[in-house]
């Protein structure tokens, strides 16, 4: 897990339309970068919909929201359309950003151990430095927790 004060690794991945988006293009703004396991699964859908529901509040604060998973561009497009997601979704099937941000980890589910994306959210400040980390983020409360932190 990356820590507060660390320079955020550059991200350069395709969005749901296939356009390359980089983290550095948002220098000067705070950026929420949240990593989630899979499109169209219950927890990931709840988390995405919570960010969508709070999106206007993030916009008022001039904060960019980016969701990243290892799903494809096509999967992200369908996921965003189905759930009316107004924020950026980036496809990372090669797990470049997922590994750079140290969220590809061992997971235990029903006694079975496997590797996967651990739901994690980073807040990157205006200079591209990690300001806050939410490890093992909760799908239902993550978006609200970040807003509360931003408003403190």
Query: Which residues are tagged catalytic?
Result: 44
**Sign of the Cα pseudo-torsion (114, 11, 4, 152, in order):** negative
Residues 16, 28: Cα–Cα separation, whole Å: 24
For the chain, give the number of residues.
152
Bridge partners, 122 (sequence order): 33, 133
Tokens of 94: 């090669």
Phi, psi of 21 (to 5 degrees): -120, 135
| DSSP element (H, E) containing 74 | helix 73-83
């Amino acid at each position: 897990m990356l820590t507060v004060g660390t320079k955020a690794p550059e991200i350069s991945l395709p969005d749901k339309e296939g356009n390359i988006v980089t983290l550095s293009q948002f220098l000067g703004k705070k950026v929420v970068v949240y990593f989630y396991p899979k499109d169209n699964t219950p927890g990931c859908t709840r988390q995405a919909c919570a960010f969508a529901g709070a999106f206007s509040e993030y916009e008022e604060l001039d904060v960019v929201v980016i969701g990243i998973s290892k799903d494809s561009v096509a999967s992200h497009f369908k996921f965003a359309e189905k759930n009316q997601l107004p924020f950026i979704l980036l496809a990372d099937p090669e797990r470049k950003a997922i590994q750079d941000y140290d969220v590809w980890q061992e997971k235990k589910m029903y006694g079975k151990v496997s590797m996967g994306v651990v739901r994690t959210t980073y807040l990157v400040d205006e200079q591209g430095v990690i300001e806050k980390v939410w490890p093992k983020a909760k799908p239902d409360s993550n978006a609200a927790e970040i807003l509360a932190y931003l408003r403190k």
